[in-house]
Amino acid sequence: MATAFAISLVIGLLGLVVWIILRSLAVNAPQWERADPERRFGVNGRRVLGALTGFGIAGLSAFYAARDIDNWLIAVLAVTGGTAAGWYAGRIGDAGSAGVG
């Protein structure tokens, strides 16, 4: 089970790094506008990356913090963490979430 959490975390973090690099290129260099992940994937893309990263972090945390609990409870905690991270990643950029507007 720890392998699934680790793979999710690595994919999420690599996706986040690629997202940040492509976004910064698209904002600063006009020829990179087509590669902008905000235009291509938008809020749903951010939610997926947040959910993958949150699932991996929450799963590994639950797995190593409480090794004596059942696997199904670890999975529930991991899914809960991934859902919360995905929801929060989708809220970033909203005027209401930052207290602006």
What are the tens digits of pLDDT across the range 63-72? 998 778 888 9
Average pLDDT in the chain: 88
DSSP, collapsed to helix, strand or coil, labels residue 61 as helix
Token output for 49 = 């990356």
Residue carrying the six token digits 């940040």: 20
For residue 59, pLDDT over 80 is answered with yes
Q: How confident is the model at residue 100 (pLDDT cuts 50, 70, 90)?
A: very low
Q: What percent of the chain stands above pLDDT 70?
A: 91
Q: What was the pLDDT predicted at 67? A: 75
Give this prediction's pTM: 0.83
Contact predicate 29/14, CB 8 Å = no
Contact predicate 36/83, CB 8 Å = no
Where helices occur in 1-101 by DSSP H, the ranges are 2-28, 37-40, 42-65, 71-91
For residue 98, pLDDT over 80 is answered with no
Burial class (CB in 10 A: 0-12, 13-18, 19+), 78: buried
**Which residue in 54, 51, 64 sits closest to 1, CA to CA?**
64
